[in-house]
Structure 1
Amino acid sequence: MQIAVEDDPGAQVRDLIDQGLDIFNESKAGPLQASELWVIARDDEGTAKAGLKARTYFGWMHIDWLWVSPEARGSGVGSALLNIAEAQARERGCSGAHLETYSFQAPDFYEKHGYQRFGQIDDYPPGHSCIWLKKRL
C-alpha cells in the first residue's frame, strides 16, 4: 500500500471516505439521518445579509457557522437566525446543539442564548482560544 499527501484526491475518493465513515458510524450509533440546515436573512432587494449553516445528525444539530454582515450586526438578526435554527432542529427531533467558535468571534453571544462551554484550546489561533459550546434543546 502506498500512502501520499494529496491536495485534491477527487470527488470519487472524498465520497468513498465520507460514505465509508458514515456506514461505520451508523453500524455503531444507529441511523445518521444527516441533513443540512440553512437559515438566511435577506434585505428587501434579496441580498443575503446574514446566514447560519448547520447539519443535523444523530439527534443533534452542529452549527458550522453563523455570519452577520457588518451593517446588520446589533440588529437582532443573529439571535433570530439562531432561534429559527434551534426550532428547526427540534422539529427534526434533535435534543441538543453544539458548535465551536473562537474567542474573538462570539462565545458571549452563544452563552447569552443558553450555550455552555465544554472545551477549549488556548493559543489556537495564537493569542486566542478555540471554544466548544453546547445546549440542550
Structure 2
Amino acid sequence: MSDGTHITVEDAADPAARAAVLDGLMAYNAARTPPGTFTGQPLLVVLRDAEGAPVGGVVGRHRAGWLYLELFHIPESYRGQGLGQKILERAEAEARARGLAGVWLETYAFQAPGFYARMGYTTVGVLPGCPPGQACHFLAKRLDGAPLETP
C-alpha cells in the first residue's frame, strides 16, 4: 500500500467509519436487487405498562425483503400470559401487510428457540459455542405458509 492507504484496528465506535462501510455495502446491494429491498425500515411492537411506559416488545427492521427481528424481550413479571405470542403475531401481521416474505431472527439456546418452534419457525442454522458452552440458533418463517426453500 505504497499510496499511504493503511489498515487500522479500532476499539472505539467511529461514526464516519461505520457510515463508510454501511453506505458502500448498501450501494453495492441496491445495485443488485429490486428497489426497496434494503430499506432498513423499522418495525416495533411495543408492550406498555398501565401508565403507557414501554416495558418490552419487538424491535425489527426490513432486511432483504424480510423482517429481521433484532430484539425481543418480555420482562419476567409479564411472562406466562401469552403476550409473547401476541406480540410476535402482531409483528408477523404487520410484516405481511408490508409485503415482506417472512421473518428471521437469531436466539441463543438459553433464550427461546422452543418458543419460536411452537410459533412455526424453522431452524435454518446453529452456531455452536456462541456464546461459549451454548449455541446461537438462526430461525425463519415464511409468511405465506410455504416451506422454507433450501438453497
Could you state the TM-score of these two structures normalised by the residue count of structure 1? 0.93
Aligned residue among 12, 23, 27 for 1:19: 23
Q: 2:140 aligned with 1:134, yes or no?
A: yes
Structure with the bigger percentage of strand: 1
Checking the alignment, whether the CA contact within 8 Å between 1:50 and 1:72 is kept in structure 2 is no
Separation of aligned partners in 2, 1:122 and 1:93: 33
The CA RMSD measured in Å over matched residues stands at: 1.3
Query: Greater RCO between the two (CA within 8 Å, min separation 6)?
Result: 1
Aligned residue among 107, 116, 123 for 2:113: 107
> Greater CA radius of gyration, 1 or 2?
2
- Cα displacement (A) at 1:9: 4.8
Aligned residue among 7, 12, 15 for 1:8: 12
Structure with the bigger percentage of helix: 1
* Stretch deviating more after TM superposition (9-18 or 125-134): 9-18
Could you state the TM-score of these two structures normalised by the residue count of structure 2? 0.85
Figure out how many residues of one structure are paired with residues of the other and give that number: 137
SS in 2 for 1:37: strand
- Cα displacement (A) at 1:80: 1.2
- Cα displacement (A) at 1:8: 2.7
What is the letter of the counterpart of residue 15 of structure 1?
A
